[in-house]
Amino acid sequence: MAERNYIFDTIRSVFRSFGYSQIETPAMENLSTLLGKYGEEGDKLLFRILNSGDAFAGVDESKPLVSQICEKGLRYDLTVPFARYVVQHRDEISFPFKRFQMQPVWRADRPQKGRYREFYQCDVDVIGSKSQLCELELVQIVDEVYRRLGINVLVKINNRKVLSGLAEICGAPDKVVDITVAIDKLDKIGLDAVKAEMLEKGLSAEAVALLEPVLTLSGSNAEKIAVMRGLMSSSEIGLKGLDELEELFGFIADAGISTPCEIDLSLARGLNYYTGAIFEVKALDWEIGSISGGGRYDNLTGIFGLADMSGVGISFGADRIYDVLKGLDKFPAGLGSASRLLFANMGETAYVLPIASALRAAGASVEIYPDVSKLKKQFDYADRKGIPFLSVCGETEAASGQVQIKNLATGEQVSFSKDDLPGILAFIGEN
Amino acid sequence: MAERNYIFDTIRSVFRSFGYSQIETPAMENLSTLLGKYGEEGDKLLFRILNSGDAFAGVDESKPLVSQICEKGLRYDLTVPFARYVVQHRDEISFPFKRFQMQPVWRADRPQKGRYREFYQCDVDVIGSKSQLCELELVQIVDEVYRRLGINVLVKINNRKVLSGLAEICGAPDKVVDITVAIDKLDKIGLDAVKAEMLEKGLSAEAVALLEPVLTLSGSNAEKIAVMRGLMSSSEIGLKGLDELEELFGFIADAGISTPCEIDLSLARGLNYYTGAIFEVKALDWEIGSISGGGRYDNLTGIFGLADMSGVGISFGADRIYDVLKGLDKFPAGLGSASRLLFANMGETAYVLPIASALRAAGASVEIYPDVSKLKKQFDYADRKGIPFLSVCGETEAASGQVQIKNLATGEQVSFSKDDLPGILAFIGEN
């Protein structure tokens, strides 16, 4: 929980520094909003909520029961509720609307290791502008979030229009997915096998020959764009995609982003709904799937009756980010321990209480053991809670106005005057 | 949302300074955990979740359907899931266990003004110690939370054992509630009417005469305790309650709490399950019900098979705190606006991007309007989002290395060198 708060607090403060506002939507949505948005499999994974009151009153037994007794379901992701929210509040929202959302979602998956029925998603989107500055902003956010978290990443960028352009010049506009999948296999199976697979999928020999320069694309992002521009001069949509990529990389250079960003034509995530940029973020020093991803969608709110509302968003995978930080040992020390200092309880409450209050007022996290128990038990409590400093103030200390503090890790013990708050704060590392 | 975050962030940081850890429990609990814990009315208000898969497979139609097709429900409060959590994790938890929880709960109430089907609760508890230092800590937390929020409050304190003692000396141990209700009416209906009501409820004339000094109790907390001590010398439980009250007020004095705390025997909240201290917090400058409340319960986890686990907790009413802050106009200015400064987009992106990045790196919230739109539209955007400063950097500024910034509230406009970050930060109030 402390670790998740650390990740979310970091992400949240970056989002805010770019002017994004946090919103929350209710856990329950109408099933009519949710059904049909996640495919057949997704519909099965929706949690349905029994209508309150007598759910079975007036049920027509000759018709399917479930849709009669359940009107609401738990949200399955943050995207569909966001689209519903934008459409519903269209008149109050100032567009471009920059929002983020960090809330749990629910899926009726069989519980298994690493897969939970309730888990958090963390989405940031800007909706209502087609400017590539929005794409840039998401790349800037990724750059800053992972810089603050101490994770080295690579941002892979693709563009759906470029993929459409490639399919178009191959004379196979319906084969976008096949082409992307084939490109994706290049590293694993090699050029010849990829070409064979493309032929197998029904691409012509001319088309495969045309695509060869794309398959073997190398060099800088600008060089890659130049090669493709030569190839795609006949495809309007392809050229539009290349313009977008070029503008975005220009902005990335202008903004001085230090995270490496590269064009990767094999990026196919969300190919069904993304219409422009596609992003994926990989951790460089830890083997794991993508830790963030997203893209531009031109028609998110269309299904709810608000057309022509282009947006672009990215999602941070909190669970995977947790795994990377854990694996690389990059969580700041002491996150888990709620307090820095435990005052053992020797019965000298009147002496200890004001000292503890003064330390808290100075910003320290301090607790007093509630019971006058054996010292061993109080030590154990500090140890199990990971409280790094312990103070035992008995009659002697109370009489002399002293505070003994022990660093439980090193065993170092120092005596302070009870009024020497700066000294105590420095010793327990809360200055 | 920004306002709620402000309230929760404030409360959270106080909780942490006393060594409380945040936990979260899943939204869904087994209905067997929830049912029967909130009375008959509560059971009706539980949201039930349809079993996933084919919920109707194997259903025995001769038996009640709902319990066969729904095994889970949404949590109704934070207390019962917390008790379940403590019992389930008893072997991993270090007692005394100091935890807080800020999560939504769901109730199938008919939606109406001020009553939502999903709302947040914010509970802090320490479980596994009978020390009155735990009660003190909650009073300290209340004191500090409302000091930080700028709300003047009164903490009312009662003790269930004292009420039991009063009923005992009246020879009517079953009339605790009647006595408390009568005391509560004193201000409204006067002494004689209260005495008449007590007789009506079946108390003897001797009992009512005995209670009269309690009804007219006045003076300091110590004086009130002294009067009751004289009265209750024959009631063991009553004396125990007075000892607890006396110890708590001693600690309150030792800790130097400035918030007024007073004994109020009419406090009856949660009389069914509280066994010791009972708390209620009233806002002094705003007419509203209690904004925090809680007490000690000796048997919270008993229903789940873990006996003799005494705890004490308090709940912060986020919605009412919101109302008080709103009513007293005590929210800090600028909470709602995500950014301090908007750079209008005049197409000089290469010039503006690094300046915006530098300001963000210095801690400011800054955004750039994504589209090169009419200035009026960009102004309106800043206005509607409550962004207080606007910068228009066109060709002239880019050529001269200047940044013009306008305070949208005062109209004041100042020109800075683009490298004068401290000057810009001070002007937009982010230094």
Q: Say what the pLDDT of residue B17 is.
A: 94
Which tokens in the block code for residue B152?
């003047």
Distance from CA of B223 to the nearest CA of A (A): 21
Which residue pairs, CB below 8 angstroms and at least 24 apart, start in B391-398? B391/B341, B391/B342, B391/B343, B391/B344, B392/B344, B392/B346, B393/B343, B393/B344, B393/B346, B393/B348, B393/B351, B393/B352, B393/B355, B394/B346, B394/B348, B395/B346, B395/B348, B397/B348, B397/B351, B398/B348, B398/B351
Domain span holding position A349: 341-427
Residue B423, domain member (yes or no): yes
Which tokens in the block code for residue B233?
């010398």
- DSSP of A246-273: HHHHHHHHHTT--S-EEE-TT--TTTTT
Structure confidence by residue, pLDDT tens digits, A317-336: 999 999 999 999 999 987 76
Q: What ipTM describes this predicted complex?
A: 0.87
Torsion of CA A225, A230, A235, A236, to 10 degrees: 60
Q: What is the CATH number of the domain that holds B418?
A: 3.40.50.800
Distance from CA of A121 to the nearest CA of B (A): 15
Q: Say what the pLDDT of residue A53 is.
A: 87
Residue A402, domain member (yes or no): yes
CB pair distance less than 8 Å for A350 and B18: no
Residue B420, domain member (yes or no): yes
Distance CA B406, CA B343 (A): 10
Residue B410, domain member (yes or no): yes
Q: Given pLDDT bands bounded at 50, 70 and 90, which one contains residue A26?
A: very high
Residue A408, domain member (yes or no): yes
- Asked if A94 is an interface residue toward chain B (Cβ–Cβ < 8 A), one would say yes
- CA angle, residues A300, A306, A310, in degrees to nearest 5: 45
As a whole number, mean pLDDT of residues B126-149 equals: 97
Structure confidence by residue, pLDDT tens digits, B255-302: 999 999 999 988 876 667 899 999 999 999 999 889 999 999 998 898
Question: According to the per-residue pLDDT averaged within each range, which of A282-291, A332-341, B181-190 is highest?
Answer: A282-291
Q: Is the pLDDT of residue B65 over 70?
A: yes
**What residues have CB less than 8 Å from B137, skipping those under 6 apart?**
A368, A370, B18, B126
CB pair distance less than 8 Å for B254 and A108: no
- Asked if B384 is an interface residue toward chain A (Cβ–Cβ < 8 A), one would say yes
Q: Say what the pLDDT of residue B148 is.
A: 96
As a whole number, mean pLDDT of residues B209-214 equals: 88
User: CA end-to-end span of chain A, whole Å?
Assistant: 25
Q: Given pLDDT bands bounded at 50, 70 and 90, which one contains residue B431?
A: low
Q: Say what the pLDDT of residue A113 is.
A: 67
Residue B386, domain member (yes or no): yes
Q: Is the pLDDT of residue A213 over 90?
A: no
Residue B153, domain member (yes or no): no
Distance CA B166, CA B137 (A): 27
Looking at the 3D structure of chain A, how many domains does it have?
Answer: 1
Q: Is the pLDDT of residue A431 over 60?
A: no
Q: What percent of chain B has pLDDT over 70?
A: 98
Q: Given pLDDT bands bounded at 50, 70 and 90, which one contains residue B337?
A: low
CB pair distance less than 8 Å for B65 and A47: no
Q: Given pLDDT bands bounded at 50, 70 and 90, which one contains residue A271?
A: low
**What residues have CB less than 8 Å from B254, skipping those under 6 apart?**
A349, A350, A353, A354
Distance CA A166, CA A271 (A): 14
Choice among A317-326, B60-69, B176-185, B203-212 with the minimum mean pLDDT = B176-185
Give the mutation candidate from A9, A28, A131 for the B interface (greatest B CB count, under 10 A).
A131
pTM: 0.89
Structure confidence by residue, pLDDT tens digits, B304-320: 889 989 999 999 999 99
- The pLDDT mean for chain B works out to 92
Q: Say what the pLDDT of residue A105 is.
A: 95
Structure confidence by residue, pLDDT tens digits, A218-253: 899 999 999 999 999 999 999 999 999 999 999 999
Q: Given pLDDT bands bounded at 50, 70 and 90, which one contains residue A145?
A: very high
Helix (H, G, I), strand (E, B) or coil at A311: strand
Are the C-beta atoms of residues A81 and A75 closer than 8 Å to each other? yes
Residue A363, domain member (yes or no): yes
Q: Which among B19, B144, B365 has the least Cβ separation from residue A367?
A: B19
Q: Is the pLDDT of residue A127 over 90?
A: yes
Structure confidence by residue, pLDDT tens digits, B86-122: 999 999 998 999 999 999 999 998 877 667 899 999 9
Distance CA B31, CA B27 (A): 12
